[in-house]
A = this chain, B = another copy of it.
Amino acid sequence: MIRHIVLFTWTDDATDEQKAAVAEALGTLPGLIPQLRAYTFGQDAGINQGNHDFAVVADFDSVDDYLVYRDHPDHQAVIAERIKPIVASRAAVQLSL
């Protein structure tokens, strides 16, 4: 199994609408990319100071399935249209479990 994890911080001028649109767009992907075994995402809960703003955790059966997701046009569209315009920083890891 591959667990893909990515954390984002948003730019200071990112609007609440732009932030909400990220989650909304990501929410369409499980219906479009059947390789997704589990998919959790959302904004930070505000428990600790200094956290990143948003997280995505996506599970796949194999590296190949993860690569389908990574390079999928619908996923790439979410990145280009929703995430890139408001991203300040990105941190990612893929875990092989």
Contacts and interface: CB of A to CB of B under 8 A. Distances in A.
Interface of A: 2-3, 5, 7, 40-42, 44-45, 47-48, 50-55, 57, 63, 66-67, 70, 89, 91-97
Oligomer: number of copies: 2
A36 B47 CA distance: 17
A42 B3 CA distance: 10
Contact of A97 (B42, B51, B52): B42
B42 A95 contact: yes
Contacts of A51: 92-94
Given A3-B40, A55-B5, A57-B5, A66 B93 contact: no
A63 B45 CA distance: 10
B95 A45 contact: yes
17 contacts: A2-B47, A5-B7, A7-B93, A41-B95, A42-B95, A42-B97, A44-B93, A44-B95, A45-B93, A47-B66, A47-B67, A48-B92, A52-B92, A55-B93, A55-B95, A57-B95, A91-B91
